[in-house]
A and B are shown apart, each in its own frame.
Chain A
């Protein structure tokens, strides 16, 4: 059988749009916004891939998914082969397809993107992942028991990936999770409408069950067990506890009623299912005028969740407003592009080049608004982005009865309690080798946000993967730390 002649026209065509819930409808519910490709659409989009001899897309993927190969199989309608290729590198494709910032990773390097739109790699990955969750043709395979025991702390993207890779190699893996359910940021942080919990649970259960990984929930390392206690009972320990500590601004009024961290707000909504209160016991309070400070993915998630809670409560057009307040301009917004576009479509009000200088309250300690100052962009700073500079005398007030701080997070120091020898940077992140994940403490590896500070799901998975490879080498080959 000969391959079809190369069709020059197809590279000119645009990528296939993914069906989404219409914005007027979706702001009334918490159901998933993006609905995914149909089989027909996936095959058609896969046909756009040029099958480059030296594919650049793969170099943009932190876990090295064999992108052209899985797309080729998909284009030929061989779903099972596509799944096999995908799962040889990525244990959680249904999750990554939904939350990876593809536009700055694989898709940014797609050759098609130079002249036309890049192949929708993320949407195809999601399709393959969802197909596998339904068909379950590729349970993960496990090698013979090595007799080695590994403790993985944290069941978020880094920990899960590390645990699964090590269990595949035949090591006995136990995951310790402080919350009552596994998934880390995937369950407490990312909302249902962007990443349905059913997908997370089913992806985790599938991986964990097929490999016999034990998950001990309600185990707070640093308290229930110390790190040193874990080390005495396991051959190695991987720390993937993320960056769970919220940052608050050092401005007046931060302790007023109605001011909360995005972590608290999202944990109430996602982890505790507060959007189903009072059927679920945990309340979540959003007023009529909400101000979210920050413009990362977490800020978008919080703002869009607020909108849905308001609409669910009082229907449309009832004077409800959700603002996103960001000190730089639209071009610098750190959120995934799709989230920004969805937020704009849904009616979130963006106050760019604006920074809060104080939170206003009434005599009952309830928040009434934000005092802000206008900013302008100056010279680029260390991060390469233009530094926002306040414009003197431009202060103004924004009315708000709820203020949500989405200003980033740092690693939770609880895990280090009573343990020595683990060096950390000034910002609280753990010092670890980028390639191996080795920390300064013997037999302890770390990866994900605990090392990098708040970053992406896929970069945490990449770190978990690299650490798993090194732990495996350590346990089975040389047992050498130095």
Chain B
């Protein structure tokens, strides 16, 4: 069992959790992920590492409550425990000195882009970061991102904070202004955002790395559920990734695979909410 040390609500549906898992921290690097399972009944969910502290042995995760498992996880509090915490999984980001890099975090993707931006900065790169969200209430870690960036651009879809519009707009301007001067781009966020970033950078031939978060079970190459179609053939996100060249990913196939269990996910959520309501009303009666 792994104890939750701290919990913060970054927005109505975005939660931060610090979990004590020294065995995972010892080899953890930016870009890797963990598999979390809440309890005996839970599914194994992959979550990208947002931060880690070798001294305390704590790992920070940030996730958005979208389905049963993330809502359930988000309902836990400091002091509670989760049954499974395995990792670090996947390959670390290829941190090196590239020159000028752009780090893009969309929505909950701001969390995993942070340790990558930090490591790139430490490696001597000029880091330009773009973070974006639906609206101001979904933004977080602006200051943290600023602290590891030479330049930070903040956007919201609805214009409630920062620049109004999608992250690809400032990205396009940067590429227009100095395409040859951008040596590498990292983008993490919803699948559709990473797709549009990849489409935007392709004409400029700008090396674009995306971090995929597909459906998986074991996270070690055993199930193959996470496979993604690249130009050169199928690849496993869990062991070959999670980072890939965004220009090689078959995005339509990927986005469609992500949808495959939608009906079951809905059913699981209804089942869980029903059970919660039932338990709440039993508790109420008990009083």
Contact = CB atoms under 8 A, between A and B. Distances in A.
Given A264-B217, A277-B264, A281-B42, A180 B86 contact: yes
A271 B84 CA distance: 13
A206 interface: no
Among A180, A267, A268, A279, residue most surrounded by chain B Cβ atoms (within 10 Å): A180
Contacts of B41: 273, 279-281
Interface stretch (A7-15, A109-117, A217-225, A450-458): A217-225
B241 to A, nearest CB: 13
7 contacts: A178-B220, A246-B224, A248-B227, A267-B223, A283-B264, A365-B252, A412-B220
B43 A272 contact: yes
A414 B88 CA distance: 12
A377 interface: no
Given A218-B23, A257-B260, A412-B222, 4 more contacts: A178-B220, A224-B26, A248-B224, A263-B222
Given A180-B84, A224-B27, A263 B68 contact: no
Interface string B56-74: 0000000000001100000
A459 to B, nearest CB: 20
Contacts of B217: 264, 267-268, 271-272, 282
A220 B86 contact: yes
A20 interface: no
A255 B86 contact: no
Given A220-B87, A260-B224, A281-B69, A179 B268 contact: no
Contacts of B24: 224
Nearest to B35: A218
A264 B223 CA distance: 4
B247 interface: no
B83 interface: yes
A224 B86 contact: yes
Nearest to B269: A278
Contacts of A283: 261, 264-265, 267-268
A268 B218 CA distance: 10
Interface residues of A, number: 43
Contact of A263 (B86, B223, B252): B223
A263 B224 contact: yes
Contacts of B252: 365
A220 B84 CA distance: 12
A188 interface: yes
A257 B257 contact: yes
Given A246-B224, A281-B42, A283-B265, A224 B88 contact: yes
A254 interface: yes
A39 to B, nearest CB: 34
Interface of A: 178-180, 188, 216-220, 223-226, 244-246, 248, 254-255, 257-258, 260-261, 263-264, 267-268, 271-273, 277-283, 285, 364-365, 412-414
Contact of B229 (A219, A255, A268): A255
Contacts, number: 127
Contacts of A280: 41, 43
Interface string B39-53: 001111000000000
A280 B256 CA distance: 24
B220 A264 contact: no
Contacts of B83: 180
**A-B pairs, 5 with minimum CB distance:** A283-B264, A264-B223, A218-B86, A278-B271, A281-B43
A225 B217 CA distance: 21
A271 B220 CA distance: 14
A220 B227 CA distance: 20
Contacts of A179: 86, 218
B134 interface: no
B89 A223 contact: yes
Interface in B16-45: 23-24, 26-27, 37, 41-44
A244 B220 contact: yes
Interface in B81-96: 83-89
Nearest to B270: A278
Nearest to A245: B221
